[in-house]
Amino acid sequence: MTYIKNKKYNFIIMKKTHLYENYDDYIKFQLKKTSDKSKQKKWLGPEWQVKIDIFKNLFNNNINYIKNKKNAICLGSRTGQEVVALKDLGITDVIGIDLHEFEPYTIKGDIHNLDFDLNHFDFAFTNILDHSLYPEKFASEVTRVLKKNGIFILHVQYAINQDKYTEVIIENINQVEVLFKGLKLIKKNKIESGIIAMNYEFIFVKE
């Protein structure tokens, strides 16, 4: 593996065995995970309700930030458990995007190039910053599609082992706030997320 330091944001960008020759190669590599039939069977089977319950618990911990929101997007939602959790909590207009669609909860989309208008959503969630090839572009897209006073919840893995599809390793937890400089940080804390394996939470608002 080769490692490229992004000095501006203090991230390590990790490429797998070779540098991608183009963006399509990155997409193809990430699709290996979401297109894996054995993983899909696990996500849609034994992990389905378990993850819904975990997401509902995590979102419930921040229900005051969520309860009045009307429409939401979940970025990198795979089979859509976080989408279901938000629907159960009262956000009826919520959609997930991922490189591989899983109807009815997740449509095909690219986190670096969101196919939504400026100021479209009043709530956004993701836990796949680590799978972003261009974290700065990802952050700018989240900021762009959020409405004024929109809330963004970010879950990350920090100082724990990550899978082979990881593109970004957070070297300094405080630099996440710098990355999302277009938003105001209103909460930061450790979390326990069980099999989802995220251990840090950030909540931002678009002023």
pLDDT for the residue numbered 48: 98
Sheet holding 2-6, edge to edge: 2-6, 11-15, 168-170
Instruction: State pLDDT tens for residues 73-82.
Output: 999 999 999 9
Instruction: State pLDDT tens for residues 161-188.
Output: 888 899 988 888 988 999 999 999 999 9
CA angle 200, 106, 138 (to 5 degrees): 50
Of 5-14, 58-67, 91-100, 135-144, minimum mean pLDDT range: 5-14
Of 13-17, 25-29, 111-115, minimum mean pLDDT range: 13-17
Q: Residue 86: helix, strand or coil by DSSP? A: helix
pLDDT bracket for residue 4 (50, 70, 90): very low
pLDDT for the residue numbered 16: 42
pLDDT for the residue numbered 172: 86
pLDDT for the residue numbered 15: 40
Instruction: State pLDDT tens for residues 104-124.
Output: 999 999 999 999 999 999 999
Q: What is the dihedral of CA 20, 152, 43, 45, to 10 degrees?
A: -170
pLDDT for the residue numbered 169: 87
CA angle 115, 120, 125 (to 5 degrees): 80
Question: For all residues of the chain together, what is the average pLDDT?
Answer: 91
- Whole-model pTM: value is 0.92
| Overall average pLDDT of the 178-201 stretch | 96
